[in-house]
């Protein structure tokens, strides 16, 4: 694979790198994306499952959907894309700003991770806010009740209409703004405020590189678009890095 010269030069001089990732980076680990060809939302409407109103309307249904996805996530392994990102840390100051809730960046060994949409492993009581990790509650297909107050327990993920965790978002924004290169990997970049992250990078004069199997909302904005699978392209970029860092 041939990369353009300008990109290779940026890679040679870069110190801080941000990876802004979405569902597409986990597709090769067997986790479905939301939108696009094999997206789960071709079959189900997001507002029917990924909102607090939906949860209150039918808590068991929403819980069962997360339970199903938890099963998939628990069996999934990081792929070559996650592993390459973790290995970038040997050569650069790397931050991973992810919209994913699947823990695969952590399993791959990335250290500095900002999770914008929460984590499927954590749950909390909507009443008294007691946190439960998935090992602490009985995981069945019906919604669990809080052992302290009997309230409904929900996954600690960010649904439509909900605020993102402020620290994770502002740290992620800062990392993007101060980065020399910002890779935007496997995201349709249509969900806000997460999709402001690449814009923060641009504002800080970072070099914006998109990695996706198809053009997105961001393509016209990116300095360089690489179309193909993240699990194939990212290891090739890492090979280039190794050439000039060793
Ligand atoms: C590959 C590949 C391979 C495949 N290799 N690539 C402007 C400002 C602020 C808010 C808004 C705004 N406009 C609208 C809003 C509201 C709303 C929003 O953004 N709506 C848009 C959809 C229109 N945002 C919100 O509600 C947010 N909160 C908020 O705004 O709070 C403020 C507020 C509070 C109260 C009142 C008023 C305001 C919250 C958003 C939460 C999103 N949550 C979800 C669910 C999380 C839990 C769960 O997982 O169930 O997050 S929705 C879903 O989308 C999930 C994802 O993280 C997110 C982004 O999806 P992502 O990762 O981009 O995946 P896909 O599937 O879209 O794309 C995959 C890509 O991969 C594709 O491009 C493929 O081509 C590619 N691909 N294989 C490389 N192998
Ligand atoms: Zn409680």
Write down the pLDDT at residue 210: 98
Residue 229: closest CA among 46, 57, 89, 79: 79
Confidence class of residue 158 from pLDDT cuts 50, 70 and 90?
very high
The rounded distance, in Å, linking the Cα atoms of 185 and 209 is 8
Between CA 187 and CA 218 the distance in angstroms is 9
Same domain, 96 and 68: no
Tell me the residues surrounding ligand 2 (ion) with CB < 5 Å.
Answer: 125, 127-128, 130, 146, 148-149, 151
For ligand 1, whether the C-beta of 99 sits within 6 Å is: yes
pTM: 0.97
CATH of the domain at 244: 3.40.50.1220
Structural domain count, the chain: 2
Whether 16 and 136 share a structural domain: no
Residue 172 and residue 69 share a domain: no
- pLDDT tens-digit series, residues 51-71: 999 999 999 999 999 999 999
Q: Residue 52: how many CB atoms within 10 A of its CB? A: 14
In this structure, are 133 and 178 located in the same domain?
no
My answer on whether 4 and 25 are in the same domain is yes
pLDDT confidence tier of residue 205, bands split at 50, 70 and 90: very high
117 tagged catalytic:
yes
Dist. CA 163 → ligand 2 center (Å): 21
Between strands 93-98 and 207-212, the pairing is unpaired
Question: Do residues 99 and 186 make contact, with C-beta atoms less than 8 angstroms apart?
Answer: no
Containing structural domain, residue 25: 1-31+79-117+165-246
Residues 171 and 60 in one domain: no
Is the beta carbon of 162 within 6 A of some atom in ligand 1?
A: yes
Question: Do residues 101 and 47 both lie within one domain?
Answer: no
Task: Identify the CATH number of the domain in which residue 38 sits.
Answer: 3.30.1600.10
For residues 149 and 47, state if they share a domain. yes
Angle formed by the axes of helices 230-245 and 5-13, nearest 10°: 60
Identify which of 123, 82, 124 has the alpha carbon closest to the alpha carbon of residue 100: 82
144 and 214 in a single domain? The answer is no
């Amino acid at each position: 694979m041939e990369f353009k010269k300008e990109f290779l030069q940026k890679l040679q001089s870069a110190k801080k790198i941000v990876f802004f990732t979405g569902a597409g980076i986990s597709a090769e680990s067997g986790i479905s994306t939301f939108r696009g060809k094999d997206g789960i939302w071709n079959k189900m409407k997001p507002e029917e499952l990924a909102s607090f109103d939906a949860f209150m309307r039918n808590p068991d249904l929403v819980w069962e959907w997360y339970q199903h996805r938890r099963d998939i996530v628990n069996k999934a392994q990081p792929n070559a894309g996650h592993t390459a990102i973790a290995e970038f840390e040997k050569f650069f100051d790397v931050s991973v700003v992810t919209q994913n809730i699947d823990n695969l960046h952590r399993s791959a060994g990335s250290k500095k991770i900002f999770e914008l949409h929460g984590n499927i492993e954590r749950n909390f009581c909507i009443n008294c806010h007691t946190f439960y990790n998935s090992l602490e509650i009985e995981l069945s297909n019906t919604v669990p009740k809080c052992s302290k107050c009997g309230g409904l327990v929900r996954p600690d993920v960010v649904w439509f209409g909900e605020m993102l965790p402020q620290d994770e978002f502002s740290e992620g924004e800062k990392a993007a703004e101060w980065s020399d290169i910002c890779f935007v990997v496997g995201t349709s970049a249509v969900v806000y405020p997460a999709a402001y992250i690449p814009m923060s990078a641009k504002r800080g004069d970072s070099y914006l590189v998109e990695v996706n199997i198809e053009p997105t909302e961001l393509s016209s904005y990116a300095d360089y678009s690489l179309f193909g699978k993240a699990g194939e392209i990212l290891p090739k970029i890492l090979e280039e890095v190794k050439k000039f860092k060793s």
